[in-house]
Amino acid sequence: MAPQAESANRRILLDAKLTELALFAKQLCPSADVEASAIQYEDEDGRVEVFPPARLLDNEEDRLEMTLAARASEIFEATGLYIVCALLDPSAR
């Protein structure tokens, strides 16, 4: 496959996986704000940032973060795409 076509296919795959992770985050925590970005930092292919509501308990935040990290790990194993998922303080926006 030509390098340009390979790059385009990887971008399509990245967009699909970012969307998948963002929708998964919303499924896990419907009241969270979720942002996905294909902007690359260092070795990242993309990132999903989740801003949970302030009322979310610490153990719920931990569960959300671990569940997203596990799914991102599965995606990495299957595709080689390194997508970082982060829970962030909504007041830091």
Instruction: Give per-residue pLDDT as tens, 15-62.
Output: 999 999 999 999 999 999 999 999 998 999 999 999 999 999 999 999
pLDDT in tens, 56-90: 999 999 999 999 999 999 999 999 999 999 999 98
Instruction: Provide the domain count of the chain.
Output: 1
Q: Give SS3 for 87.
A: strand
* Spatial distance between the Cα atoms of 20 and 15, rounded to a whole number of angstroms: 9
Please give the Cα distance from 62 to 85 (Å, whole number): 12
Phi, psi of 15 (to 5 degrees): -60, -40
d(CA 28, CA 22): 10
Give pTM, 2 decimals: 0.90
pLDDT at 1: 59
Domain that holds residue 52: 3-92
CATH of the domain at 39: 3.30.300
Report the alpha-carbon distance of residue 66 to residue 47 in Å, rounded.
15
Angle between helix 3-28 and helix 58-79 axes, rounded to 10 deg? 160
